[in-house]
Amino acid sequence: VSLSVQPPVGQVALGNHLVLSCTVAMGTGPLSFSWHRVGSGAPLGTGPHLELPHVGHNDSGQYRCRVSDGDSVAESDPLNVTVL
């Protein structure tokens, strides 16, 4: 399983809408996705997209996508989201 995360530059204006996407280049079987913010324990969401409809200052941070195909788990590089 290999991953890419969009947008490559995570800058968003306060109150705007942000969608993070996780794509899998290779993998077999059903895929399960989870989203995490570095330093936060609980997953923020499941599925290939994480939607933040009204971004606040507390949404700044580093986000990762984790994907499992049942046999292996892969994690994206952290994406730094900055709220302007």
Nearest C-alpha neighbor of 47 from the set 18, 67, 70? 67
Separation of alpha carbons 19 and 34, rounded Å: 14
Report pLDDT for 37: 92
pTM, entire model: 0.83
Q: Who contacts 75 (Cβ-Cβ below 8 Å, separation ≥6)? A: 3, 64, 65, 66, 67
> What letter represents residue 70's amino acid?
G
Give residue-wise pLDDT tens across range 17-64: 888 888 887 766 789 999 999 888 889 999 999 988 898 999 999 999
> Average of pLDDT values for 72-84?
88
Q: Is residue 1 scored above 50 in pLDDT?
A: no
Q: Determine the distance from the C-alpha atom of residue 29 to the mean position of all C-alpha atoms in its chain, rounded to a whole number.
A: 21
Report pLDDT for 5: 54
CATH, range 2-81: 2.60.40.10
> Average of pLDDT values for 7-20?
81
Separation of alpha carbons 84 and 79, rounded Å: 16
